């Protein structure tokens, strides 16, 4: 998924998504210096780890 699609998927802004990536809370694949891609399954796993008590 693109950064825009990922931000929409998890319900945050692109800026917040960049912060999550920077803090290594959301996994990302860099295709080159400017292109980022996200795997939906990996995002869901990361979100499950960030979720407290099953409440998002």
pLDDT tops 70 at residue 52: no
Rounded to an integer, the average pLDDT of 28-34 is 91
pLDDT tops 60 at residue 10: yes
DSSP classification of residue 36 = E
Question: According to the model, what pLDDT value does residue 56 have?
Answer: 52
* Crossing angle of the two packed helices 3-10 and 14-22, in degrees rounded to 10: 100
Pairing status of strand 36-37 against strand 29-30: antiparallel
Q: What is the C-alpha to C-alpha distance for residues 39 and 33, in angstroms, rounded to an integer?
A: 18
Rounded to an integer, the average pLDDT of 20-47 is 93
Does the reported pTM lie above 0.85? no
Q: Give the chain's end-to-end CA distance (angstroms, integer).
A: 21
């Amino acid at each position: 998924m693109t950064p825009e699609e990922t931000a929409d998927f998890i319900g945050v802004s692109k800026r917040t998504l960049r912060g999550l990536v920077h803090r290594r809370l959301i996994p990302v694949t860099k295709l080159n210096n400017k292109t980022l891609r996200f795997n939906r399954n990996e995002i869901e796993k990361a979100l499950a780890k960030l979720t407290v008590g099953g409440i998002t």
